[in-house]
């Protein structure tokens, strides 16, 4: 079940500490996002990853304060293409779920 609720920065940090914070990031037209995606836990979208690396969305598990801070800073200064997700599932399980959409 997907439920949309507003989240504060405090909510996001609590979710990160609990190990349930993920982010779907859109790398389209943002070289900084393409470089940064290598710094987090990344779900590989399949064999076509290299072909679509510049335009594919990326699912990341947000495990560090540094990554969360980067996402928040980037979202405040640029056209943001990202979705925070909270889930107790593993990265692979979340990836399987979001690929349906």
- Tokens 């710094």 belong to residue: 39
Mean predicted confidence (pLDDT) in 59-73: 89
Separation of alpha carbons 40 and 66, rounded Å: 10
Per-residue pLDDT, averaged over 40-64, amounts to 66
What is the average per-residue pLDDT within 61-80? 81
Do 56 and 27 form a contact (C-beta atoms < 8 A)?
yes
For residues 24 and 22, give the distance between their C-alpha atoms in angstroms, rounded to a whole number: 7
Task: Give pTM, 2 decimals.
Answer: 0.73
Q: What is the DSSP string of 17-40?
A: HHT-EEEEEE-TT-HHHHHHGGGS
11: which DSSP letter? H
């Amino acid at each position: 079940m997907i439920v949309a609720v507003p989240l504060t920065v405090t909510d996001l940090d609590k979710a990160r500490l609990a190990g349930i914070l993920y982010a779907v990031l859109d790398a389209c037209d943002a070289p900084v996002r393409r470089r940064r995606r290598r710094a987090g836990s990344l779900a590989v979208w399949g064999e076509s990853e290299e072909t679509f690396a510049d335009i594919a969305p990326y699912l990341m598990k947000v495990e560090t304060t540094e990554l969360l801070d980067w996402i928040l800073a980037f979202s405040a200064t640029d056209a943001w293409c990202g979705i925070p997700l909270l889930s107790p599932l593993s990265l692979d399980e979340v990836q399987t779920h979001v690929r349906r959409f």
